[in-house]
């Protein structure tokens, strides 16, 4: 079992969450590579059993780089493979989206795209709270990311 965790970041917050997820997967006995989205040249389903994609939320959706990357996950070979999606967001965005029942988050948009490619969503999306545009992550977010990844590992090992 081997997966790939792919993230975009400008200020480093989404990277911290991605690193935590990859480390926790490994500590839980699940092999995982970690890649900055712009460093992924070619992605083959032959090399990976699952994909985790994370992005900062920008204007209610994923970054351009993540959108471009998802364009590469087209082929039928990814059908039914598990995925998980996470993002970083401001607390006001989470509150407003909840109040208005809207999917204004990168993770939700990533999940929609990958489900559209017939991939199988392992867990509900994970939203890490970032304070302001540059961060930092809200207190407790690294711990929450660890819990998310531990749950992911448990599901993958079933």
130 binds ligand FMN (CB under 6 A): yes
Label the pairing between strands 2-7 and 82-89.
unpaired
Beta-carbon neighbour count of residue 105 at 10 Å?
24
Q: What sign for the dihedral angle of Cα 130, 13, 35, 28? A: negative
Of the candidates 126, 155, 157, the one whose C-alpha atom is nearest the C-alpha of residue 142 is 126
What is the rounded CA–CA span in Å between residue 135 and residue 121?
A: 28
Of the candidates 41, 40, 23, the one whose C-alpha atom is nearest the C-alpha of residue 32 is 23
Residue 20 Cβ vs ligand FMN, minimum distance, rounded to whole Å: 13
131 binds ligand FMN (CB under 6 A): no
Residue 91 Cβ vs ligand FMN, minimum distance, rounded to whole Å: 8
Of the candidates 26, 49, 16, the one whose C-alpha atom is nearest the C-alpha of residue 135 is 16
Site string for ligand FMN, 29-68 (x = CB under 6 A): ---------------------------xxxxx--------
Considering the complex, state which of residue 26 and residue 58 has its C-beta at the smaller distance from ligand FMN. 58
20 binds ligand FMN (CB under 6 A): no
Footprint of ligand FMN on 107-126 (CB under 6 A): none
82 binds ligand FMN (CB under 6 A): no
**Which of residues 12, 23, 45, 117 is near ligand FMN by CB under 6 A?**
12
Which stretch in 34-42, 43-51, 108-116, 129-137 sits in contact with ligand FMN by CB under 6 A?
Answer: 129-137
> Residue 35 contacts by C-beta under 8 Å, 6 or more apart in sequence?
4, 5, 6, 7
Interface ranges with ligand FMN (CB under 6 A): 9-14, 56-60, 88-90, 93, 130, 133, 135
């Amino acid at each position: 079992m081997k997966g790939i965790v792919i993230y975009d970041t400008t200020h480093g917050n989404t990277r911290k969450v991605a690193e935590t997820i990859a480390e926790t997967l490994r500590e839980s006995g699940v092999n995982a590579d970690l890649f900055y989205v712009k460093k992924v040249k070619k992605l083959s389903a032959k090399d990976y059993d699952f994909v985790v994609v994370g992005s900062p939320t920008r204007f209610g959706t994923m970054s351009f780089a993540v959108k471009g990357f998802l364009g590469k996950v087209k082929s039928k070979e990814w059908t039914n493979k598990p995925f998980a999606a996470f993002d970083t967001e401001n607390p006001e965005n989470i509150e407003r989206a909840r109040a208005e029942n809207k999917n204004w988050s990168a993770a939700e948009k990533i999940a929609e795209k990958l489900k559209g490619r017939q991939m199988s969503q392992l867990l509900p999306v994970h939203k890490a709270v970032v304070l302001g545009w540059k961060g930092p992550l809200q207190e407790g977010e690294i711990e929450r990311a660890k819990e998310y990844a531990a749950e992911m590992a448990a599901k993958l090992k079933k």
